[in-house]
Chains A and B, each alone.
Chain A
Amino acid sequence: MRYFEYFVGPQHVGVTGNMSYHLWADGDEIKKMITSVGYLHRGFEKLMEYREWVKNVPMVPRICVPEPDVNEVLYAMGVEELSGLVPSERAQYIRVLVLEMARLSAFLFYFAGAAGALGLYTIPQWTIGDRDYILDRFEELTGGRAYHIYTTPGGVRRDLPDGFKSRVQETMNYLKKRLIDYDRLMFENAIIVKRTKGIGIIEKDYAMNMGVTGPNLRASGIKADVRKDDHYLVYDKLDFDVPVVGDGDIFSRIMQRRLEFDESIKIIEQVLEMMPDGGFIEKLPNPIEWKVPAGDVYVKLESSKGEFGYYIVSNGEEKPYRIHVRGPSYTHGIQVAQEKIVGMRIADVAPFLFSLDVCPPDIER
């Protein structure tokens, strides 16, 4: 039997990054797919072993391009746990603020990709434009738009600028207003509903066994969120829900993000209100001679794509002994996509791959 072979990627398939998919189709039906990763392998884990602990801070955000802050916070959390540092409460609140703002901007990116894959190009124009208002706030806070290099072991590098809280609140008010438009344009859109309902279903048990995490797992009907289950920073003091859509198809994965968008805005508003005064960074040892005590630790947090984790091993020297990065896309980007795409129509390939929110930089590191 001869199949029609074709390739998706490795150029950006929209916004996901450089990764290619090799597909075999019989007529309009996909028979087999092989993912090919490696276009973005930059060897960060090895590079980190060559650099002093503090020199890794500006490098880790590069591991995930659309949502770099999770890497900074995770690296800082891991080093702090190994060396017994506890950041001040204000620093922890600021980190939550940064993480949730990063989540919002990643979700806006996701909406753009998901709609673009279905040929609806108005939505990407709007969401990418609105994402820039969040980047403006990041620029004000950290000096950078895409990469921030703001969180460091011991706290954060700068305090909030004057009047920053009210400007974040303004941005949130603007986004809340825009969500009404998004709902009408995207989530009640007949094209999106018809093209995505009942397609690309990932069952509950399958998702759990295959290590799928984050919004994709919740879209399949399992209420699990690292922010609640393995709470870090000050998430246990904040009041938010974990929405679960539960059908596991493309539509529920898109809808899942839409519902979580509301929760993130809720968290940011609480953080702005509850943030205490105080210092924002602890006193650190001399960075050049900083020896982190020997030991190993696994830290993880909830990124917009799922469970992001760092396994950090120190042997008591100036440099890390080994760092293993667990990217959330590792599971659903390779094995799950490969198995679940079989039997799908060619036209559904792009929406399906987008709905999983695969981010190749965090697979390959």
Chain B
Amino acid sequence: MSLDVEESIKQDIDLRLKDIAKCEIQRERRLKLYTGKDRVIPVLGFLKSYGFIHLAAISCVDWLDDGEFEIVYNLWSYRDKAGILVKTRISRENPEIDTAIPIYEIAETYEREIHEMFGVNFPGNPNLTSLFLEDWNGPPPMRKDFDTRKYAAEKYGMRDLTEQLKIGMDKIKGVRDGDEIL
């Protein structure tokens, strides 16, 4: 298993983005790149011109204990046959990061979803309307501090089933004692 392609990509990235990004090889055909919030757009611009033309997805991870969101841009190069995860962290207090639409047009829908599910703002994205949720006034539901079970219990309430349970148990007992089944 040789890592020649990955090594050469890493070398090029290290050379061009020496001060603003840190690159590492995860395994065959997979690289990772860490960069700052303000540097993401230039880094993505460089990577696209380098050959990473396919934006497979933008993911968001809520690191509640660190008080940060991690935005992960998932790129793939058809030429080099390698993928790279570009990661950056933004503060949870004021979650905001520039849109990637000027570089990857398809970012629009992914950013729309992250805006809806995590409440991250993307200045420059013209279409940050709701995507999946309708008439939703609660907090962004994919955040770690949003508890779906608690929300459902508060909003819809829990049914009290003790009475039905008792009737059922009595029936079972009756069968066991040899009574006729209804």
Chain A residues within CB distance 8 Å of chain B: 37-38, 41, 43, 45-47, 50, 208-211, 213, 222, 224, 229-230, 296-298, 300, 307, 309, 311, 313, 321-322, 324, 326, 330-331, 334-335, 364
Contacts and interface: CB of A to CB of B under 8 A. Distances in A.
B133 A324 contact: no
B30 interface: yes
B74 A209 contact: no
18 contacts: A38-B132, A38-B134, A46-B142, A208-B78, A209-B53, A209-B106, A211-B55, A229-B81, A230-B81, A298-B30, A307-B56, A321-B61, A324-B57, A326-B56, A326-B57, A330-B109, A331-B106, A335-B105
Contact of A364 (B57, B60, B132, B149): B132
A224 B141 CA distance: 36
B54 interface: yes
B108 interface: yes
Given A45-B142, A208-B54, A311-B59, A222 B78 contact: yes
A149 to B, nearest CB: 23
A87 B138 CA distance: 43
A14 B26 CA distance: 43
Given A230-B29, A334-B109, A37 B149 contact: no
A213 B53 CA distance: 12
Interface in B42-84: 53-57, 59-62, 72, 74, 78, 81, 83
A298 B55 contact: no
Interface string B13-56: 00000000000001001100000000000000000000001111
Per DSSP, are chain A's interface residues mostly helix, strand or loop, or mixed?
mixed
A322 B132 contact: no
Nearest to A336: B106
Residue among B26, B55, B109, B133 having the largest count of chain A Cβ atoms under 10 Å: B109
Contacts of A224: 78
Contacts of A45: 142
Nearest to B108: A335
A311 B54 contact: no
A211 B108 contact: no
Contacts of B149: 50
Given A46-B142, A209-B106, A298 B74 contact: yes
B59 A41 contact: no
B131 interface: yes
Interface string B102-114: 0011101110000
Contacts of A210: 105-106
Give the top 8 A-B pairs by smallest Cβ distance, nearest first: A324-B59, A41-B132, A326-B57, A38-B132, A211-B106, A229-B81, A322-B61, A311-B59
Contacts of B108: 335
Contacts of B56: 211, 213, 298, 300, 307, 309, 326
Contact of A335 (B60, B74, B106, B132): B106
B11 interface: no
B97 interface: no
Given A297-B26, A298-B56, 10 more contacts: A38-B131, A46-B142, A50-B148, A208-B54, A209-B53, A229-B81, A230-B83, A322-B61, A324-B60, A331-B109
